[in-house]
Amino acid sequence: MELQDCPSLLKDVITTDKEEIALKDMVVAILLGSMPKRDGTERKVLLKANVKIFKCQGAALKKYARKSVKNVIIWGNHSSAQYPDVNHAKVKLQGKEDGTYAALEDDSWLKGEFITAVQQCGTAVIKA
């Protein structure tokens, strides 16, 4: 679904189950994946499963990806109450580190469509 949502931004797709190939020299990381909440799933079961996923993702990013993107925070639970906070996020492009707003030069997208996409992602995945 994410690939279909942003084809104009997509440069390449690499299909692999090897972290060192998938993340090698990655410039931007947008991690949307987690175990989806299904009807009847207790929150503690969901959190336990997601902690494993996020720890693995974090360790792999630290080991293989470039150190150019940091400080992106998602506030709230897995619902429309989530808020992606990029106010302190930094992106390093062409050797220059800058704030996300300055680097993307598209405040309206970051304050609108991006927030909506994050807030509706869980529902879209469950429906898919």
Judged by DSSP in three states, 115 sits in helix
- Check: CB of residue 11 under 8 Å from CB of residue 27: no
Look up 88 and say whether it is catalytic: no
Number of Cα atoms under 13 Å in the Cβ half of residue 33: 10
Pairing of strands 90-93, 83-85: unpaired
In the 8-state DSSP scheme, what is residue 37? P
The one catalytic residue in 34, 37, 69, 78 is 78
Catalytic residues: 78
